[in-house]
Structure 1
């Protein structure tokens, strides 16, 4: 998806592009930025399906939990060996306890990582089997339309025409495998030791970013969307009232106004030549 996005920018003959992502599409937009930041002028993330954990992972300390702080504290006192024999014994005992605690914590992390990796690989194996295809079809048949209705602020406005628009891609040949492979790629990225999760790299984004949420989004909670905005330096955050997971469809005028205001703030007002071009279009 990322390669296809960048290839599409090339196809347009543009040096840079403003990428607009919605829900899981925000992952593609952000990944495209990390892949080629020089090609992305700005990001507009609508109801981003990027979970930002409340507690961030911290790097494992070299000497185990708390031991480096103890070592620094001893060094700051100007002596590594207390003069009192009892203090020396007590200090060694504390060092041993801290080492054991660090060893146990690292072992627990390693076991947890192994279990998680095995679990994810088992899930991937199931998804790539015929069972996975049947499972996807079952979920979409049973809960697909329900999910669409819950995505809207006012479910009564979800007409048959709207539902047909969302289910049309599901009539394409091979859509099940496409959805499965996309899901599998996200699972494999989550357990990859060489790839940092997107949620932990948001602070690296330096281009202008606008994050948009519906005030009654039932699929991607507003509080998580706000956390995404806070994690990105200088990102704007806008809430569109009386809309759910699809503010661009339920409140198109408000959505366009919010995005236009963001673009003007980021890049200035359009030139007269651009205005004439827009009028002609």
Structure 2
């Protein structure tokens, strides 16, 4: 009998039997920049360029009203599962607004950035948030700039904010698009109940009188209870930390096993394209061009292992007891901030974005109508208008202040 032909594997419609190195999938305008042994795929767009990029839409325009350019480069930070492709419709118009260069790069585990083995020999985990922050600052240096405007989308907003905390002097402004950052609830002051604390009682002044003696004994008993409760609470917290540590180790071991690889392939196959469609307000407008742009990295050798290592890094970061959550540091941000969201974002609700803007001093908040999780792709004209208005207002005001100070 003739040998049975082996069934070809595919994930989200992408053949998995003929995977390539990421650089073999590069576009004509792709570039690679090595940082700590990682070849980061990126694209640079300048306002002086005249040739259209192969993956940029020609129908996106920005009004030319003769206003002066911002004069600061921009760095674009994509979200989870995305890549440089997600900025393709707005890079060139943003370069016109900036009057200089705009750079977008693929964070490790995404796009066409090289997939590297994660081991303890490397000084910094390439799939960690800290590495993405370092890479962002390195690209600001790459552009020979003292500071830049950071535009983050979804999980890329976390990279943008962490970069600000790492080096605030290098960040001119932050634009947070559909930010996947947990926003704290507004502080609510307790309303008066009409009862006064420590209400005075009419008791005799003699400290040995029965009412006073009972109060002292009761107070001592309450203090003892507090002490016991505190000790028990510390024991529970210690046990919880041990359990959490064991849980994290077990989860990491599972994800790094062959079962973890099978799981991530299954998830991407079943929900990858569905996730892209769900990110749009109108899924019917998701074209084959968009689907191919998002699934192209699945042709890279080692994509599933890299994605798992990125997930593991996020788990370890979230389990760290020493790392202060970004949500508790938002009030420390002092640079100009714009928060943009789609009114029908199914992934990061608009109310969370609004709460985030409320938590950042002086932040501006804009909602784009009939738009989902990807304003820069689904509503590029409206997105560019919002960003341009914000940047021109901020930097026009700054320039006027400098001029007045000089006079």
Partner of 1:195: 323
Partner of 2:151: 20
Specify which structure has the higher proportion of helix. Answer: 1
> Cα 1:91–1:55, aligned 2, differ >3 Å: closer, same or farther?
farther
Partner of 2:121: none
Give per-residue Cα distances to partners, 1:31-90, cap 9 Å, x unaligned: 11122111111111111111235499xxxxxxxxxxxxxxxx8xxxxxxxx653222211
Secondary structure of the corresponding residue to residue 268 of structure 1: helix
The answer to whether the 8 Å contact 1:213/1:222 transfers is: yes
> Cα 1:199–1:122, aligned 2, differ >3 Å: closer, same or farther?
farther
Q: What TM-score results when the alignment is normalised by the length of structure 1?
A: 0.82
Secondary structure of the corresponding residue to residue 293 of structure 2: helix
Matches within 5 A, 1:1-281: 1-54=132-185, 84-268=212-396
Secondary structure of the corresponding residue to residue 123 of structure 1: helix
The answer to whether the 8 Å contact 2:344/2:370 transfers is: yes
Task: Measure the CA separation in 2 of the matches of 1:52 and 1:118.
Answer: 29
Gaps of 5+ in 1: 57-72, 74-81, 272-281
> Cα 1:49–1:236, aligned 2, differ >3 Å: closer, same or farther?
same
Task: Measure the CA separation in 1 of the matches of 2:361 and 2:397.
Answer: 23
More deviation, 103-112/122-131: 103-112
Q: Displacement of 1:222 after TM fit?
A: 1.2
The answer to whether the 8 Å contact 1:189/1:197 transfers is: no
The answer to whether the 8 Å contact 2:186/2:355 transfers is: no
Which of 1 and 2 has greater Rg? 2
Q: Displacement of 1:120 after TM fit?
A: 2.2
The answer to whether the 8 Å contact 2:344/2:350 transfers is: yes
Task: Measure the CA separation in 2 of the matches of 1:92 and 1:270.
Answer: 60
Task: Measure the CA separation in 1 of the matches of 2:315 and 2:356.
Answer: 20
The answer to whether the 8 Å contact 2:151/2:160 transfers is: yes
Task: Measure the CA separation in 2 of the matches of 1:42 and 1:27.
Answer: 14
More deviation, 120-129/233-242: 120-129
Q: Displacement of 1:270 after TM fit?
A: 10
Q: Displacement of 1:239 after TM fit?
A: 0.7
Give per-residue Cα distances to partners, 1:127-169, cap 9 Å, x unaligned: 2223222221111111001101100000000111110011112
Task: Measure the CA separation in 1 of the matches of 2:139 and 2:213.
Answer: 72
Gaps of 5+ in 2: 1-131, 188-197, 199-206, 400-407
